Structure 1
Amino acid sequence: MDIKLKPLVALIISNMALCAVAHAESNENQFKVVLKNAFIERNFDNDNIKDPGSWSQGISGFYQSKYIPTVLSIADKPIELGVDASLQYALRLSDDRHIDDTILPFDKNTQSQERHFLKYGGTFKVKYDTTELKVGELFLDLPITAVDTSRQLISSYWGGQLKSKLTDNLQLELGRITQVSPRYEEGFHEFSVTSKGVKHYSDGLNYLDFKYNVSPNLKAEYYYGDLEDLYDKHYLGFEYSWKNEHLKSKTQLKYFRSEDSGAAKAGEIDNHNIGLLETVFAGNHTLGLGYQQLFGDTAYPLPDGFLPELYFINWNATGFFKKDEKSVHLIYGYNFKDYAPGLNAAVKYVYGTDFKDALGRDNHESETNVMLAYDMQNPKLKGLSFRWLYINYDVEHGNSFQENRVFTTYTMKF
């Protein structure tokens, strides 16, 4: 497993993930240690609401073994075995605010933030030719099961995953995920959805995902997920890339369909979500314009645990996924490589309207993000990076707030 910090502009376009989990094949064992200092604080405009936040220091280790051929073979190709493992730990440095900030574990009985935060997992993997099976802890970048890296320790899932390259242009992934470890909880837990104050559990998520390269410039993806006893989700996406001597562009069209199976524990679910994002790259500049619209009889469903839907066109610190909500966003980013190599900056603005609050009043909301990222260029300091995210959220009927997130990360590879 490879964990790296993305450039800032790509960071915003991919819905503000502050670091990413990716899997890369290697002929060597890989071990990585990540030191992450995270300061996150939210200030509500309403003085009657306590301001959540914390300052913490994390240290995480990720091991990915190379594949070892066995004596077993099919058609003269060996079956290969390997193991992966992770250990994540964080220590709260700030005083206990006695409020759940969804960053560190929180004990509701004592109303206290935990001082220590520990996650760990292991994965057994088998490979044959272009097919790979993994069982255990999984880091999945898919609808429903995205990996949340925007706080301190990262989320993961428990189950089985099968990936196969069927042709040069077609890849199949399918799996069964039985548990989730959210970003602010230790251990693995059943999936659940809370409806009208009642928590409803699922035995697991069954999914399949097809990725197809229609042409060198056009990619398509179809996903189906069945969160047992809760709801089903379909996703269909297209991505078209184009470039010439001076410009590059990327067009993304995304459609989501969520519905209950007719006997869902959490009640009726009926929602559509369609989004379009156009991104243009010109030299050091990046400009993006997006539109997202939800329609149907209910709001867009999300599992408990603040699991993000990073496939969305508009996913921010606040999710623009209310019933019937329409939202537009504008992104501008600049790479300062000609003046200060390693420095990136970006601004994103999102405006959502045509939805109602809990009292049935017409409502609208907006969010502005300002982001800075710097990766040290000195070879002696390679792996050291800094990230700052400022969020200003404003809603007509609701709780407006401002938030700062500051991350200092040092990555060492062995």
Structure 2
Amino acid sequence: MKKTSLWVWVYFCPLFSALAHADFVKDSSAELTLRNFYFDRDYKQDPYPYTAARDWAQGIIFNGQSGYTDGTVGFGVDVLAMAGFNLIGDRADDYARSSLLPVNTDNSRDNYYGKIGLTAKAKFKKNELFVGDLVPRLPTIFSSPARLFPQTYRGARFVSNEIPKLQLESFYVDQVRQRDSIHYRDVGTDNINRRFDQSATTDYFYSFGGAYQLNEAYRIRAYQAELHDIYQQQFLGFNGKQPLNEQLTFLSDVRFFNSQEVGKEKIGNVDNQHLSGMFGLNYQNHTLSLGYMQSFGSTGLPFLSGTESPVVLDFMSSDYSNKDEKVYSLRYEYDFKNVKLADISLNGLRFMTRYAKGQDIDLLNYGDKRFKEESMELDLAYKIPEGKLKGLGMRARFSHYRNDMPTDMVFHSANETRLNIDYSFKF
């Protein structure tokens, strides 16, 4: 039986069973999101043929989730449908791809595109099985929310909450539909900044592990993952919010990845141990955090293609995950809750700025020479908290990123602007 035929059968067998029972409708929910996204990465050094990566698009995202049928084993189905529209027109043809819109072989963008995913699900006590389109949020496999649409993976997910305070979770996926694509492709990894011998795809990826809530403040997580014939990876992390007194809270997030080549070694040698941590203090509306990351081993950190690096410091214009790289970061946030300006409440308004510097970067093919990168980012977001326009959000982000790497690397010095207007409502 062909792989595609097998997946279709697995999708729809539980689905037809669910539709035979009307009770699964009573606990259903649906959310519609309208997302307007402008992306502008203006290069400040001489990269390949394009002076910028620039797109403007309107997205529509429908997320429908059924309840479960009655019985010992309940069945249901989820639907994720997405449609994107090109608002910048033919002008986008002069710019590099931004992952907002599909790009044709001649670098043109279509006027619109759409995709739909179905997920059959079953529930037994506190155990759930999902088969179909998946949007994972694990450190080892993560669907990026940083563009118009997230990635979706084709596969199976199992979640168990039988043991108090412990959530066990596993994924098996064989194909991915990237953020700006309507087509499924084999899972794989990219060769960012030539950290490995080459990029490669493979037959499947799996990950399993769990998260344990130690107490009200702290959680620990541990996962094992393998991208078949490419790399295996172990993850260990903890994070939490510990109140120190009535007004002061200590924040922490520490992540460790250990990665090695496996099987046929399709991208060559993989040898990386990556440690990242962020520690902060929250006082009333203010949060100040310090972060540090360091990469050990003979290669950079591997992760699935099309996503962001799963480390604790997530920046707009670079992943800061090169071989031997040491990264220092400072972050400040202000939440305008309970703040008024001329009797106008500013609840829902948030401001963030952060700075990072990465140094001692080994690009492998340049002898003993070491490189550096740094960025400064600003983020201003407002989401209407109540009233008729509740669910309407606006966000503006800016990044000033510079590096001294050769221009044939993936990341280039750039000024980057992202503007979002999202409106979500449930029905």
TM bucket (normalised to shorter chain) is 0.7 to 0.9
In the alignment, does 2:373 pair up with 1:353? Answer: no
Letter in 1 for 2:39: I
Aligned-partner residue type, residue 39 of structure 1? Y
TM-superposed deviation, 1:302? 2.7
What's the CA shift for 1:183? 1.2
Decide whether the 8 Å contact of 1:246 with 1:282 is kept in 2: yes
Aligned position for 1:233: 233
Q: Aligned equivalents of 1:410 and 1:255: distance in 2?
A: 36
**Is residue 392 of structure 2 the alignment partner of residue 384 of structure 1?**
yes
**1:154 is aligned to 2:155:** no
Deviating more after overlay: 349-358 vs 365-374: 349-358
Which of 347, 350, 354 in structure 2 is aligned with 1:344?
350
Report the residue type matching 1:103 in the other structure: L
Kindly tell me: are residues 26 and 150 of structure 1, through their superposed partners in 2, closer, same or farther at Cα, counting changes over 3 Å? farther
- What residue is the counterpart of 2:75 in the other structure? 81
Give, in whole Å, the separation in 2 of the partners of 1:30 and 1:377: 21
* Percent pairwise identity: 28
Deviation string, structure 1 residues 68-120 (Cα, Å, up to 9, x no partner): 113xxxxxxx2111100011001011033323222211112x22123222221
Match of 1:75 in 2: none
What 5-or-longer segments of structure 2 have no aligned partner?
1-23, 341-345, 407-411
Secondary structure class of the residue paired with 1:107: coil
Quote the Cα distance in structure 2 between the aligned partners of 1:407 and 1:92. Answer: 15
One-letter amino acid of the counterpart of residue 252, structure 2: T
1:348–1:369 Cα contact (<8 Å) kept? yes
Q: Tell me, what secondary structure is at the counterpart of 1:52? A: strand
Query: 1: distance between equivalents of 2:239 and 2:304?
Result: 27
Question: 1:57-96 alignment to 2 at 5 Å?
Answer: 57-70=58-71, 78-96=72-90
| Structure 1 counterpart of 2:125, one-letter code | D
Q: Give, as a single letter, the amino acid of the residue that structure 2 aligns with 1:228.
A: H
CA distance in 2: counterparts of 1:343 and 1:218, whole angstroms: 27
Unmatched runs of 5 consecutive residues or more in structure 1 = 1-24, 71-77
Instruction: Report the Cα distance in structure 2 between the residues aligned to 1:272 and 1:123, rounded to whole angstroms.
Output: 35
Once structures 1 and 2 are overlaid, which stretch shifts more, 329-338 or 192-201? Answer: 192-201
- 2:223 partner amino acid: Y
Q: State the shift of 1:356 in Å.
A: 3.1
In the alignment, which residue of structure 1 is the partner of 2:19?
A: none
Contact 2:198 2:268 in 1 (8 A): no
Shift of 1:50: 2.1
Partner AA of 2:135 in structure 1: F
Maintained 8 Å contact 1:278/1:288: yes
In structure 2, which of residues 102, 107, 113 is the aligned counterpart of residue 105 of structure 1?
Answer: 102
Cα distance between partner residues in 2 of 1:119 and 1:105: 12
Q: Does the 8 Å contact 2:309/2:321 carry over to 1?
A: no
Matched residue, 2:162: 166
Q: Which residue of 2 aligns with 1:4?
A: none
What is aligned with 2:206? 206
Change (3 A) 1:413 1:275: same
Shift of 1:289: 0.7
User: Comparing 211-220 with 160-169, which one deviates more in the overlay?
Assistant: 211-220
Q: 1:216 to 1:198 in 2, by over 3 A?
A: closer
The question of whether the paired residues in 2 share the 8 Å contact of 1:323 and 1:355 is answered with yes
Q: TM-score, normalised by structure 2?
A: 0.85
d(CA) in 1 for partners of 2:251, 2:390: 30
Q: Partners of 1:274 and 1:308 in 2: how far apart?
A: 16
- Counterpart for residue 137 of structure 1: 133
Q: Which residue of 2 aligns with 1:6?
A: none
Structure (1 or 2) with the greater helix fraction: 2
Determine which structure has the larger strand proportion and give its number.
Answer: 1
Q: Distance in 1 between matches of 2:186 and 2:421?
A: 32
Contact kept? 1:146, 1:309, Cα under 8 Å = no
Following superposition, the deviation at residue 363 of structure 1 comes to 1.0
CA deviation vs aligned residue, 1:354-412 (integer Å, no higher than 9, x gap): 11345343211111110000112451111111000001101123431001100001111
Q: Distance in 2 between matches of 1:303 and 1:354?
A: 24
Compared CA separation, residues 264 and 27, structure 1 to 2 (3 A):
farther
CA deviation string 1:229-276 (max 9, x = no partner): 111011000124310211111222211011111531111100000112
Instruction: Check whether the contact 1:100–1:113 (CA below 8 A) recurs between aligned residues.
Output: no
Paired amino acid for 2:52: D
State the Cα RMSD in Å: 1.9
8 Å Cα contact 2:230-2:263 kept in structure 1? no
Q: Which amino acid aligns with 2:43?
A: F
SS in 1 for 2:210: strand
Q: Is residue 205 of structure 2 the alignment partner of residue 192 of structure 1? A: no
* Whole-Å separation in 2 of the counterparts to 1:264 and 1:80: 42
CA distance in 1, matches of 2:286, 2:26: 37
Deviation, 1:214, is 2.5
Query: Which residue is equivalent to 2:255?
Result: 254
Equivalent-residue separation in structure 2 for 1:293 and 1:47 (angstroms): 29
Query: How many residues matched?
Result: 380
Contact 2:119–2:133 (CA under 8 A) maintained in structure 1: yes
The CA distance in 1 between the partners of 2:184 and 2:76, in whole Å, is 22
The separation in 1 between residues aligned to 2:207 and 2:256, in whole angstroms, is 17
Contact 2:212-2:220 within 8 A present in 1 as well: yes
Q: Per-residue CA shift, 1:140-184, capped at 9, x if unaligned? A: 101242121111112111101111113112221112111111212
Q: What TM-score, normalized by structure 1, do the two folds share? A: 0.87
* Residue matched to 1:395: 403
Counterparts of 1:212 and 1:220, CA distance in 2:
5
Give the secondary structure class of the aligned counterpart of 1:103.
coil
Partner of 1:264: 265
**Cα deviation 1:199-225 (Å, max 9, x = unaligned):** 422111111021112233331110111
